[in-house]
Structure 1
């Protein structure tokens, strides 16, 4: 290979790498631009991660209190799925990493009387709930989006994500999970939104 050919190939390789990075950045930027932030809180909760802990209690054999690093070590589910808002907009191709709710069930060992998992959030306004019998492996406690920790406006440090449910079911800033025989009516369901939140196609 002569020097001219070598330099040409090196230049083309470098151009491809730069182009790939620009394309990747453009995709991330596009995702960010499509995401409309919705919150029922007066302001975004400012959570001190050094003081954060997730309490898991209720009708279960193993009650838990987990700090952020505990949750990171439990991440076992990763996939790419659109985020769909009931308002009609979609953020396509989001990569999610988190803890499967089925894993949570295996760890906590709910009693037979437990029929629902109820979620409570920082700010004390948002609540959500899902029947245990409906849970799939893809229903997760999400800790990362596109390989990065959730940022504050997206629910840091912890939010729900169900790929087949509208975004209003994906409660942000979760601080407590309670296994119960009674359903905690979700915030938006109190205002007439369907309790199941299943995406209509």
Structure 2
């Protein structure tokens, strides 16, 4: 299993402006109830503007090669947790399988419970982007996205969507749940891109 350590800090500081450290604590922030996981019906798909649409059952997902990524996490609500070790499937590996078309400029994430979020396709090509099943050596807790969570450490944590079931590749940006409710379209912690308008 490949292990990747990423320095997502800009310069010497590891904590973006306006953030505070939570140490071992990891707050659970969720809109709505925690979905129940049923491995018999769970699946994951990559669809839209791709040459090879993909669909995995839970059994098939667990046969994919895994990586470990060590990276910090920053929440838009101002907490940061350093040195997280995520284990899962590299986003690059899935991109190699699905082969997004040139006109696929963005992706939309679809999750249990109807949650969605969005980002430029380039974010999935970063080596620290992965679809995680484990955090710090243990399976994700249900409140943190078990069985599968997208992890994009360089963006605020709401982009690292929980309970993910699919990625749809699209030609134009499509705001997700929080983006439609005032959160920034991109969400760079170092630029404090928390909201699309003032609160």
- The alignment partner of 2:187 has SS state of coil
Shift of 1:154: 0.8
Q: Considering fraction of residues, name the structure with more strand.
A: 2
1:21-66 per-residue CA deviation (whole Å, 9 max, x = no partner) reads: xxxxxxxxx62xx11111112x110121221111221111111110
Between the aligned partners of 1:69 and 1:94, the Cα distance in structure 2 is 26
Shift of 1:151: 1.8
Q: Considering fraction of residues, name the structure with more helix.
A: 1
Shift of 1:74: 2.2
Between the aligned partners of 1:166 and 1:143, the Cα distance in structure 2 is 19
After superposition, residues 29-178 of structure 1 pair within 5 angstroms as: 31=24, 34-41=25-32, 43-124=33-114, 126-134=115-123, 135-178=125-168
Between the aligned partners of 2:184 and 2:71, the Cα distance in structure 1 is 22
Shift of 1:102: 1.8
- The alignment partner of 1:107 has SS state of helix
Between the aligned partners of 1:73 and 1:142, the Cα distance in structure 2 is 14
Shift of 1:101: 1.7
1:103-128 per-residue CA deviation (whole Å, 9 max, x = no partner) reads: 2111001122211121111011x111
TM-score with structure 2 setting the length: 0.78
Between the aligned partners of 1:164 and 1:98, the Cα distance in structure 2 is 17
Between the aligned partners of 1:182 and 1:75, the Cα distance in structure 2 is 31
User: Which residue, out of 187, 191, 199, partners 2:181?
Assistant: 191
- Greater than 6 Å deviation, 4+ residue runs: none
Contact kept? 1:127, 1:184, Cα under 8 Å = no
Which one has a bigger Cα radius of gyration? 1
Stretches of structure 2 lacking an aligned partner (at least 5 in a row): 1-22, 192-199
Between the aligned partners of 1:79 and 1:109, the Cα distance in structure 2 is 23
CA RMSD of aligned residues (A): 1.7
Between the aligned partners of 2:94 and 2:69, the Cα distance in structure 1 is 18
